[in-house]
Structure 1
Amino acid sequence: MNPINEILFFFSLLGAFNGLLLAVYFSLIAKKEGHRHYFLALLILMLSIRVIKSVFFYFNPHLSDVFIQIGLSACVLVGPSLYLYISYDRKINWIIHTAPFLIVVGLLCILYPYSEYRELWSQLIVRGIYLQWLIYIVASLQYIKPIIRKIKSRQKLDNIDIWQLSIATCIFLIWLAYGTAAYTSYIVGALSFSFLFYLVFLLIIFRNSKQPVFYQEKERYKNKVISEENILKIEQLLPSVIEREMFLDPDFTLDQAAKELKISKHVLSQYLNERLNKSFSTFINEYRIEKAKVLLQNKSNYSVESIGYESGFSSKSSFFTAFKKITGKTPSEFQRAQVS
């Protein structure tokens, strides 16, 4: 193997093996952080198997047919795993989205093994699997739309929003890399996985970081000073916005708050960052969490998920993330502590 191929082999395989480790990590933390992580672990595991097959086949065309068949078949669970992870808050039946495909692919492997029906696999079965993968990517978009709306309205994204958007985007890019491999190179899919793996890994570090990043916000405003008139206006009118509980609207934005205060959104954002050392998202979520605490204490017959929506959160995951970040407990743990 020449030096260039050695480098390609190393980098294309590096992400796949690290992906296997990450899949194990997410499966281990699923009991503590939430069962949705099982689907994330499955997603990464299936992609890693597919990538490992690609790498070894690219550098060894005489690879065992059984190994090739396993690598191709793994893709049948990539789309469903993404969809089940992104849509987890909706409590969708995971068996419906996995069992039928496993049965079909299992029968195909038995009745039409890759070793005897290579052309059938390359011309029909693999294309069908990639089509199914794309359909699930499109189906997952409906749960990404609220994040897109936040971006359009220039709201600050929560870490969970960034995380889910990144996962969906990465899966689409990997699908695109494999879908266009016939026109580029077969190794592109594996290389794209390695590259995107490390981008997502950085997001994990960012998501788990408990240190607020205000330095950049303050840099932006360092040459601007809020007028005393605007400070007075904010301090007089902001309590009214809170008293009317406008934060209970999940679509309540910085723009809307600024209009209520009759100032520009830039001035309000600067005030929150400089005077309260908070982003608008954090400021609003703190009041939502206080509302949720009251509901958790007084409405024991309500589900935790319902209380999250009633408190102004747009999803169960954003509610749990914000509650844990602000209180150090999950909503269920807080509720049990009140009863005891």
Structure 2
Amino acid sequence: MTDSSQLLFFFSALGAFNGLLLSVYFAVNAKKKIFSNYFLSLLLLVLSVRVIKSVFFYFNPNLSNIYIQIGLSALILIGPFLYLFLKSNSENQKSNWGIHILPFLIGICVVGTFYSYVDHRIIWIKWIVKAIYWQWFIYIVVSFKYIQPILKKVKIKDSIKKIDIWHLSIYTGTFCIWLAYYIAAYTSYIVGALSFTFILYLMGLLLLFKNSKTSTFFQEKEKYKNKEIDNDTIAHIAENLSILVKKELYLKPNFSLEEAAKEMNVSKHVLSQYLNVMLGKSFTNLINEYRIEKAKELLEIESNLTVEGIGYDSGFSSKSTFFSTFKKITGKTPNEYQKMSLK
């Protein structure tokens, strides 16, 4: 093996080896037993098995067919584990993992038994492998619904959490690995293994940059832990918030959190906590939403007011702030919205 081949072998095999280590780490050494991490562990495991097979077959074409069959069979679980990982992090209910794993696992075992790679290599290459790659791709497409909200945040330049970046990187990485293997016939068979190494190290950087003392595996720090608001205060704020809306106090351009808290007779810290925890919004975002709703009402009726004037009457202190906020919340400019509503 030449020096360049040894270097290529090292980098391509490195990803698979580290993938196995990370798989064990997520499954066993987690500080918190978060169920979704087991799906991530299994995703890394099956990817690593696939990559190990690629590396050894590339550098040893005479590799035993049984190892090739195991490596190819592992592909059938990559898509389901990606889907289950994203689903379990995005939804509160427990994932029914059995229907996504057992049929494929049983199916590939049955196919492998009656049509082994050793005796039916052509069938595997022409039909079975292609079917597995398409199954993997279908799961990538189905999993996109859990990534779409993150991309929407990016599009409107909204703040995204570190866990969102983590999910996006895993999804994108899995897709890139699928693409690298799918087009391997037009590039090089080892590209998939090298892409896995590269992507794995990018994911590793995300883990290193996150302070492990504040969270585990990008679970966001609980900002208000041990500072829960009692039920009476929650009811009091909810009632007064509706009064604040009826009074249209948000139309004051400089209406602040302090003023709102004073109006409700609560501290600004408690009000901020209520908005973040109960409504999932900051005070600024909430007030802007109220202002945009008011602006939409004014835009939907014939009047002598200019669009800029409607922005000022809705509580915005500048034309640019009004236009950018309106576009961010509605996806349209005020002029576009007005033309559509007055048709």
Q: TM-score, normalised by structure 2?
A: 0.66
The structure whose Rg is larger is: 2
Does the aligned pair in 2 maintain the 1:13–1:190 contact within 8 Å? yes
Q: Which residue of 1 aligns with 2:86?
A: 86
Query: 1:144 is paired with a residue of what secondary structure?
Result: helix
Q: Provide the rounded CA distance (Å) in 2 between the counterparts of 1:116 and 1:27.
A: 36
Q: Provide the rounded CA distance (Å) in 1 between the counterparts of 2:25 and 2:109.
A: 27
Letter of the 2:62 counterpart: H
Return the offset for 1:4: 1.2
- Which deviates further from its counterpart, 243-252 or 124-133? 243-252
Q: Which residue of 2 aligns with 1:191?
A: 194
Q: Provide the rounded CA distance (Å) in 2 between the counterparts of 1:253 and 1:33.
A: 34
Q: Provide the rounded CA distance (Å) in 1 between the counterparts of 2:142 and 2:112.
A: 27
Residues 21-67 of structure 1: CA deviation (Å, up to 9, x unaligned): 00000111458231111110000000001001000100110001011
Q: Provide the rounded CA distance (Å) in 1 between the counterparts of 2:203 and 2:5.
A: 26
Letter of the 1:87 counterpart: K
Letter of the 1:141 counterpart: F
Q: Which residue of 2 aligns with 1:203?
A: 206
Does the aligned pair in 2 maintain the 1:30–1:38 contact within 8 Å? no
Q: Provide the rounded CA distance (Å) in 2 between the counterparts of 1:251 and 1:75.
A: 41
Question: Which consecutive residues of structure 2, in runs of 5 or more, have no partner in the other structure?
Answer: 216-252, 292-314, 322-343
Q: Provide the rounded CA distance (Å) in 2 between the counterparts of 1:257 and 1:192.
A: 45
Does the aligned pair in 1 maintain the 2:166–2:206 contact within 8 Å? yes
Q: Provide the rounded CA distance (Å) in 2 between the counterparts of 1:77 and 1:38.
A: 13
User: Do residues 178 (structure 1) and 181 (structure 2) align?
Assistant: yes
Match of 1:151 among 154, 176, 181: 154
Q: Which residue of 1 aligns with 2:75?
A: 75
Q: Provide the rounded CA distance (Å) in 2 between the counterparts of 1:249 and 1:211.
A: 23
* Alignment of structure 1 residues 111-130 onto 2, 5 Å: 111-130=114-133
Q: Provide the rounded CA distance (Å) in 1 between the counterparts of 2:316 and 2:43.
A: 47
* Alignment of structure 1 residues 1-340 onto 2, 5 Å: 1-29=1-29, 32-88=32-88, 89=91, 90-209=93-212, 234=256, 236-237=258-259, 239=261, 243=271, 246-247=275-276, 248-250=278-280, 257=287, 262=316
Distance of aligned partners of 1:146 and 1:6 in 2 relative to their CA distance in 1, 3 Å threshold: same
Question: Which consecutive residues of structure 1, in runs of 5 or more, have no partner in the other structure?
Answer: 213-230, 268-340
Q: Which residue of 1 aligns with 2:325?
A: none
Does the aligned pair in 2 maintain the 1:153–1:253 contact within 8 Å? no
Does the aligned pair in 2 maintain the 1:76–1:132 contact within 8 Å? yes
Q: Provide the rounded CA distance (Å) in 2 between the counterparts of 1:183 and 1:58.
A: 15
Q: Provide the rounded CA distance (Å) in 2 between the counterparts of 1:115 and 1:252.
A: 61
How many residues in Structure 1 have an aligned counterpart in Structure 2?
250
Letter of the 2:176 counterpart: L
Q: Provide the rounded CA distance (Å) in 1 between the counterparts of 2:283 and 2:160.
A: 11
Q: Provide the rounded CA distance (Å) in 2 between the counterparts of 1:87 and 1:151.
A: 20
Letter of the 2:108 counterpart: V
Does the aligned pair in 1 maintain the 2:39–2:82 contact within 8 Å? yes
Return the offset for 1:154: 1.4
Q: Provide the rounded CA distance (Å) in 2 between the counterparts of 1:101 and 1:91.
A: 20
Letter of the 1:174 counterpart: I
Q: Provide the rounded CA distance (Å) in 2 between the counterparts of 1:257 and 1:67.
A: 61
Letter of the 1:48 counterpart: S
Does the aligned pair in 2 maintain the 1:65–1:114 contact within 8 Å? yes
Q: Provide the rounded CA distance (Å) in 1 between the counterparts of 2:142 and 2:190.
A: 28
Q: Provide the rounded CA distance (Å) in 2 between the counterparts of 1:168 and 1:263.
A: 41
Query: 1:133 is paired with a residue of what secondary structure?
Result: helix
Return the offset for 1:236: 4.5
- Which deviates further from its counterpart, 69-78 or 140-149? 140-149
State the superposition RMSD in angstroms: 3.1
Return the offset for 1:253: 9.0
Does the aligned pair in 2 maintain the 1:160–1:207 contact within 8 Å? no
Q: Provide the rounded CA distance (Å) in 2 between the counterparts of 1:87 and 1:200.
A: 19
Query: 2:32 is paired with a residue of what secondary structure?
Result: helix
Return the offset for 1:129: 0.6
